[in-house]
Amino acid sequence: MHRLILSSAAVLALSACAPSPGATTASRVDATQCFRPSLVRNFTAPNDQTLYVRTSGADVFQIETTFCRDMTRALSVALEPLSGSNLCVGDQATLRSPATGPEPCRVRIARKLTAEEIAALPSRDRP
């Protein structure tokens, strides 16, 4: 059994990072800024740091990572929320794919694209 022991200085430092009442956090975003990973219908990866996913509702979300080896060659991906069942803008998740190897990549849901942003994507990058 592991126990976490925090000093009073650590507690103060952590409390300074706590959101103030009324602040927007990833868990409080508008439901339209969220999707269920099981509803992802298509994806593209223009590079090893960016992934675009299209959901069943035709929404497109941009997902970022510092580096995910061979993500551009992936034929399938699985997104797994770190908590809960939905992924919202600002949330972190893991990405698994046979192309990226046995270790999952850590990713962050960066944003939901507007219709204009989707149309502006090069056709090869549009999911």
Give Dmax (Cα) for the chain.
54
CB 63 within 8 A of CB 109: yes
28: pLDDT confidence band, cut at 50, 70 and 90? low
Sign of the dihedral defined by the CA atoms of residues 95, 100, 105, 107, in that order: negative
pLDDT at position 7, please? 41
Residue 56 DSSP SS3: coil
pTM of the model: 0.76
Task: List, for residues 82-101, the tens digit of each pLDDT value.
Answer: 988 999 999 999 999 999 99
Query: CA–CA separation, 40 vs 60, rounded Å?
Result: 9
